[in-house]
Structure 1
Amino acid sequence: MTLYVDEAVVLRTQKLGEADRIITLLTRHHGRIRAVAKGVRRTTSRFGARLEPCSQVDLQLAVGRSLDVITQVVTIAPHGEAMCTDYPRYTTATAMLEAAERLTAEEREPATQQYLLLAAALKSMASNAHDAGQILDSFLLRSLAVAGYAPSFDACARCGSDGPHRAFAPAAGGMICANCRPTGVAMPAGETIVLLGALLAGDWAVADVAEQRHQREATGLVSAYLQWHLERGLRSLPHVERIAR
């Protein structure tokens, strides 16, 4: 039996048979994997509660034919427990889990940066370090950038001319100049563009003091940009906006 160890964040679970579950994980060194947790639904399970969505864990797994098997679990940070009484915040975290899975589509492809981004975002969400919506928007922008879809909030995304520019076009890759601007694009406030740049850079000194109207406008632009590059939106995102924004 070939064994290996890794850190992971639990993305989602699904039932398998009468007592088992298939656990979808974003690992630090092995990318996104699906593994079987045998007997995890029994009340006598040694690690059932440790394999819930949002949990950050240290795992030992056995290589299997189609799915690997989880043999040991040690909790690093039970982020889900910290948010279970704050439904809006937990729902927002669920959107991050879905985005992380969508942006790491190839199983077992290394995704260390995505893992570190998700772990840090969940820690911020669980500790209530910043506004939940701001954490989500920052995570989505940075996760898209790691996946190769980095938006431009300064130079024109088409011709590269220096900004600031007024128009935002998801299909073009961000802000575009007057010469490159097509019809029907968004014209966000300058403060919103500054906020988007801060969220992408993780500059919370700027993001935390942004006015709510600029936060709402930034959220809409982030959602549009995400939907364009994923070709369809996140299933959980509309629910998050109704509850948490």
Structure 2
Amino acid sequence: MPLHRDEGVVLRTRNLGEADRIITFLTRDRGRVRAVAKGVRRTSSKFGSRLEPFTFVDVQIFEKHGRDLHLVTQAETLAAYGGTLVSDYPAYTAGQAMLETAERLSEDDVPAVQQYLLLVGGLRTLASGEHSAGLVLDAFLLRSLAIAGYAPSFEDCARCGDPGAHRFFNLPAGGAVCSDCKPAGSVAPARETLALLGALLAGDWGVADASADKHRREGSGLVAAYLQWHLERGLRSLRLVER
């Protein structure tokens, strides 16, 4: 049917003409969706602030076929995380990186339920302030990559499967590698760093929250490098994240 109702998170907006915007959503049923919100930049707009990044909405979209963009016909706010995040620079920049990652790892009109649920949960956790913004971001990036089929190994050897923990880490190989499989260019992070990353991937917040700052910084560098390797180019927003 031309009219479709869905839940979605606003990932990005772009001005169109004098009063309209193109809104990019990650939705529960349809994956990434781009749609025009007519007149949303006017002060009298019925949408107001409902279609801003970080907003979780119940949205109705008129679907067009071919090269025409869909149209937003209705939007109701379910949760607005932007107001909380914008006053906290580390959380705000981490959130921007999460939105950009979700957009990069999804496709237009292709269902991505796991990525959607991960993003909703990640933004909720980030806005709550329950954990360090950097840890929430790294956990989100690792789990997003895992959903996309790029889960790194932080214990068993990624090449031969030899049970770990192992000392070395290699991006092209897929993570931790044993001394026999270690390719040229492998690095040797601290064991505590690999344990932290494994905890973030598994959702073990007790281990993650107790980690030392130096291991968090080293781990963030590995996560950023691993993400860039698989995306083939880095995230613009990741450069602004405080580490």
Determine whether 1:54 maps to 2:54: yes
Amino-acid identity (%): 61
Q: How does 1:1-80 map to 2 (within 5 A)?
A: 2-65=2-65, 66-80=68-82
Determine whether 1:184 maps to 2:181: no
Runs (4+) of structure 1 moved beyond 2 Å? Answer: none
Alpha-carbon distance in 2 for matches of 1:127, 1:35: 29
Q: Which residue of 2 aligns with 1:238?
A: 239
How far 1:125 moved relative to its partner?
A: 1.0
Alpha-carbon distance in 2 for matches of 1:236, 1:99: 9
Q: Which residue of 1 aligns with 2:226?
A: 225
TM-score, L = length of structure 2: 0.97
Q: Which residue of 1 aligns with 2:162?
A: 161
Secondary structure, counterpart of 2:229 in structure 1? helix
Secondary structure, counterpart of 1:156 in structure 2? coil
How far 1:87 moved relative to its partner?
A: 2.4
Alpha-carbon distance in 2 for matches of 1:28, 1:67: 19
Alpha-carbon distance in 2 for matches of 1:33, 1:2: 14
Amino acid of the structure 2 residue aligned with 1:92: A
Secondary structure, counterpart of 1:59 in structure 2? strand
How far 1:183 moved relative to its partner?
A: 2.5
Encode CA deviations 1:102-157: one digit per residue, 9 max, x unaligned: 111x2111100000001111111111111000000000000000001011112111
Secondary structure, counterpart of 2:119 in structure 1? helix
How far 1:46 moved relative to its partner?
A: 1.0
**Structure 2 residue runs without a partner (length 5+):** none
Contact 2:122 2:140 in 1 (8 A): yes
Secondary structure, counterpart of 1:25 in structure 2? strand
Alpha-carbon distance in 2 for matches of 1:155, 1:206: 19
Alpha-carbon distance in 1 for matches of 2:26, 2:35: 11
Encode CA deviations 1:72-111: one digit per residue, 9 max, x unaligned: 111111011111211231111001101111111x211110
Determine whether 1:88 maps to 2:59: no
Determine whether 1:132 maps to 2:150: no
Secondary structure, counterpart of 1:58 in structure 2? strand
- Which deviates the most, 131-140 or 60-69? 60-69
Amino acid of the structure 2 residue aligned with 1:98: E
Encode CA deviations 1:214-242: one digit per residue, 9 max, x unaligned: 111110110110011111110111111xx
Alpha-carbon distance in 2 for matches of 1:51, 1:108: 19
Amino acid of the structure 2 residue aligned with 1:50: R
Contact 2:167 2:176 in 1 (8 A): yes
TM-score, L = length of structure 1: 0.96
Alpha-carbon distance in 2 for matches of 1:89, 1:155: 32
Alpha-carbon distance in 2 for matches of 1:220, 1:112: 28
Amino acid of the structure 2 residue aligned with 1:176: V
Number of paired residues?
241
How far 1:2 moved relative to its partner?
A: 1.9
CA RMSD of superposed structures (Å): 1.0
Pick aligned residue for 2:101 from 89, 94, 99: 99
Contact 2:90 2:134 in 1 (8 A): no
Secondary structure, counterpart of 1:224 in structure 2? helix
Alpha-carbon distance in 2 for matches of 1:94, 1:58: 21
How far 1:63 moved relative to its partner?
A: 1.1
**Structure 1 residue runs without a partner (length 5+):** none
Amino acid of the structure 1 residue aligned with 2:50: R
Secondary structure, counterpart of 2:29 in structure 1? coil
Secondary structure, counterpart of 2:142 in structure 1? helix
